């Protein structure tokens, strides 16, 4: 672990000031190295205070690399950028350099990418992040990481007071059942008819052999503190849903911690599908899925490893591995 991250963890673990010599001893580094780490953190905007008794972390560590890393219970280093083309691109670059276990986080993206080569609008105020890992799992299980990210994002949104659900395969939405219950509620209505307003999307990219993942980048885009008017039709944001801005630092940390927990091991991955089912708005609904092999229409009854939607159609049961899913009104 690098000294700055270790120093942040040590400060997070202690409510009272921690002296330079005590830090040097607990981290197993020189006092000069502690001082250098403190200076580095301050340069990155993390205001470590000096008191006569020692160093103290700021009350609000801020939305920055060290701020997000402060007290983070997940095995990632955090690379923060105010503005970047795409956090997924940056994470792929880091993968090319042999890196792993890095979360790239940005305030604004100027060239961000969505699924199916679509543009993704990512102005300042969102939570735009990509997690680079090298999990020791067969390539066939890789889709579980996307589902895990959807679960983690949903949990972080709920933690922030927003009742989010997952639409297969990996859209995090607000609304849906509510839309049908009260079509007259203009603020809740779903203008796209696709099952709610979109809060977040996920784009996973990977490289690997047939039987092993080489690297995996899971990119999550969350409309956090953004006016929905500036977003594409059908989108919403955490701030619009809560009526107040969300603490992005806490939100990002919750998301990363939950993702790390769900993907920690093969055994942990076994828990992803049950968690996904619990948070899904798609199951039990009539759906139309546009796939590369044509349209599949019917009732979504389950999700199966590694993330296929199981649909009961007039022609029998189908498993759909990829496609654009639309929730239909029962009459449709
Ligand atoms: C979707 O189409 O629903 C997926 C959108 C994914 C957007 C995120 S924002 C962070 C990461 N960087 C990118 O360029 N894309 C993903």
pLDDT value of residue 185: 43
- Specify whether 271 is located in the same domain as 172: yes
DSSP per-residue letters across 286-332: EEEEEETTEEEEEEEEEEETTTEEEEEETTEEEEE-S-EEEEEPTT-
- Specify whether 50 is located in the same domain as 155: no
Q: Which of 29, 56, 83 is the last residue of a domain?
A: 56
- In whole angstroms, how large is the CA radius of gyration of the chain? 21
- Specify whether 121 is located in the same domain as 201: yes
- Specify whether 162 is located in the same domain as 255: yes
> Quick check: CB of 105 below 6 Å from ligand 1?
no
- Specify whether 138 is located in the same domain as 252: yes
Which of 86, 93, 199, 203 is the pocket-test mutation for ligand 1 (most atoms within 8 Å of CB)?
203
Q: How far is the CA of 83 from the centre of ligand 1 (A)?
A: 15
Q: Has residue 37 got a pLDDT over 80?
A: yes
Mean pLDDT over 278-302 rounds to 96
- Specify whether 33 is located in the same domain as 125: no
Residue 318's DSSP bridge partners are 311
pLDDT value of residue 191: 45
Q: Has residue 188 got a pLDDT over 60?
A: no
> Quick check: CB of 276 below 6 Å from ligand 1?
no
Q: Has residue 159 got a pLDDT over 50?
A: yes
Mean pLDDT over 315-320 rounds to 96
The residue ranking higher by pLDDT, 169 or 259, is 259
- Specify whether 17 is located in the same domain as 143: no
- Specify whether 133 is located in the same domain as 16: no
> 243 falls in which pLDDT band (50, 70, 90)?
very high
Which domain covers residue 320, as residue numbers?
A: 286-328
- Specify whether 243 is located in the same domain as 323: no
| Residue in the block written with tokens 């999307």 | 201
pLDDT value of residue 18: 95
Residue 151's SS3 state is: helix
For 96-122, what is each residue's pLDDT tens digit? 999 999 999 999 999 999 988 889 999
Domain of 33, CATH number, reads 1.10.10.10
Looking at the 3D structure of the chain, how many domains does it have?
A: 3
Which of 191-195, 219-223, 267-271, 303-307 has the lowest average pLDDT? Answer: 191-195
> Quick check: CB of 67 below 6 Å from ligand 1?
no
- Specify whether 160 is located in the same domain as 79: yes
Domain of 302, CATH number, reads 2.30.30.100
Q: How far is the CA of 88 from the centre of ligand 1 (A)?
A: 8
Q: Which atom of ligand 1 is nearest to the CA of 118?
A: 2
> Quick check: CB of 130 below 6 Å from ligand 1?
yes
- Specify whether 104 is located in the same domain as 171: yes
> Quick check: CB of 113 below 6 Å from ligand 1?
yes
Q: Has residue 195 got a pLDDT over 80?
A: no
Cα–Cα distance for residue pair 90/68, rounded to 1 Å: 18
- Specify whether 267 is located in the same domain as 161: yes
pLDDT value of residue 184: 40
Q: Has residue 228 got a pLDDT over 90?
A: yes
């Amino acid at each position: 672990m690098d000294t700055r991250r270790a120093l942040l963890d040590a400060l997070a673990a202690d409510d009272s000031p921690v002296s330079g010599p005590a830090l040097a001893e607990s981290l197993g580094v020189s006092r000069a190295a502690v001082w250098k780490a403190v200076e580095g953190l301050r340069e990155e905007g993390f205001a470590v205070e000096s008191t006569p008794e020692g160093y103290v972390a700021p009350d609000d560590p801020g939305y920055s690399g060290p701020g997000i890393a402060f007290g983070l219970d997940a095995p990632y280093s955090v690379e923060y950028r105010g503005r970047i083309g795409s956090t997924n691109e940056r994470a792929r670059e880091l993968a090319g350099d042999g890196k792993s276990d890095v979360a790239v986080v940005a305030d604004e993206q100027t060239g961000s990418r969505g699924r199916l080569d679509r543009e993704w609008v990512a102005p300042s105020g969102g939570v735009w992040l990509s997690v680079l890992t090298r999990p020791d799992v067969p390539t066939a299980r890789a889709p579980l990481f996307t589902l895990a990210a959807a679960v983690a994002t949903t949990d972080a949104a709920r933690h922030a007071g927003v009742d989010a659900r997952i639409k297969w395969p990996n859209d995090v939405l607000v609304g849906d059942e509510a839309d049908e219950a009260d079509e007259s509620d203009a603020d809740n209505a779903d203008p796209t008819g696709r099952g709610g307003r979109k809060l977040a999307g996920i784009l996973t990219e990977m490289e690997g052999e047939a039987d092993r993942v080489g690297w995996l980048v899971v990119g999550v885009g969350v409309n956090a503190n953004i006016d929905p008017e500036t977003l594409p039709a059908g989108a919403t944001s955490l701030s619009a849903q809560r009526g107040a801005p969300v603490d992005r630092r806490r939100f990002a940390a919750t998301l990363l911690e939950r993702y790390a927990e769900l993907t920690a091991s093969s055994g942990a991955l076994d828990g992803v599908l049950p968690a996904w089912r619990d948070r899904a708005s798609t199951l039990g609904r009539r759906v139309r899925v546009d796939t590369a092999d044509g349209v599949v229409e019917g009732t979504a009854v389950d999700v199966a490893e590694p993330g296929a939607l199981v649909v009961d159609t007039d022609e029998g049961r189908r498993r759909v591995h990829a496609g654009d899913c639309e929730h239909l009104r029962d009459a449709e």
